[in-house]
Amino acid sequence: MAHLQRADSIKKDEEIYTSSGEADKGAVVETHDTAFAGLTKMQAMRKFWRPCLFCLITAFGVVMDGYQTSLPGSVLANAGFIKQFGTVHDPKTGKVSVKAQYISMWSGLAYLCQYIGNWAGGFISDRWGRLYTLWALTIVFTGGIITEIVARNYKDWLAAKMLMGLGQCLLQQGVLTYISEVAPTQLRGALMSTYGWAYALGQLFVAIALNTLNTTKPDNYLNAIYSEFVFLGLWIISLIFLPETPWFYARKEDELKAKKVLSRIYKNVDGYDIGII
């Protein structure tokens, strides 16, 4: 399987002089050139619209991530959340607040689970496939949302935060790996950069959701939590249509499956010959 190359690459011999000495000798070196190297980014986007679409579908998971990992932290200031989880009573004003140690513990252990998620994501991707990582984070996020809904004390909310932290870094590892292996060469950097704006878009939706909550039903923080299922549901529907990456099968030396996936990703692209790899 060592000979498996990206299907947009062709091998050829040409005269390249890397030094004056080699120019005198007329040295011929073997190089690799891409069949679509002359395409601009816009041309590449039109020609390779299917792999671009798969990458953008994957990037939607980052929007979900930005929403679901930012919401539990932002909802801390909500009146209904404070009423449910607040344990500190001000004797002068009678106001209730959430204990600072609880907030620190929620954040600290969530970061610990992010570390675990990054390690676990790489292991799952290499052993079972990139799609398995995406499905694993979906299961973890589902568990996190359900835990947030049923949480009634700081320990329950801690479990939810830990699940969300684990899911966040499973997503980071899974999405970036997937896009890097599916994106066309000319567009790989641009498509990988979608991670940043997609996450920011998810955070924007959080701000909109909490502002709506605070102006309508400020005591019912669970309405914001329920909204997480909207993004999760759209993500699950999108995930069904994603193929495995060809490079996963290439690493497993499964040439037949690698070519099958390539033929699906680059379907009907003129000049893209799966048979040359």
User: Could you list the pLDDT tens digit for every one of the 277 residues in the chain?
Assistant: 544 444 444 444 443 334 444 444 444 444 445 666 667 778 878 888 999 999 999 999 999 999 998 998 889 988 899 999 999 988 888 889 999 999 999 999 999 999 999 999 999 999 999 999 999 999 999 999 999 999 999 999 999 999 999 999 999 999 999 999 999 888 899 999 999 999 999 999 999 999 999 888 888 899 999 999 999 999 999 999 999 999 999 999 999 999 999 888 988 777 666 665 5
Give CA separation, 108 vs 74, 139, 168, in Å.
Answer: 16, 22, 14
Residue 6: predicted pLDDT: 47
Structural tokens at position 204? 């924007």
Q: Please tell me the distance from the alpha carbon of residue 231 to that of residue 217, in angstroms, as a whole number.
A: 21
CATH number of 48-242: 1.20.1250.20
The alpha-carbon radius of gyration of the chain (Å, integer) is 24
Q: Which element (helix H / strand E) includes 191?
A: helix 188-192
Domain range list for the chain: 48-242
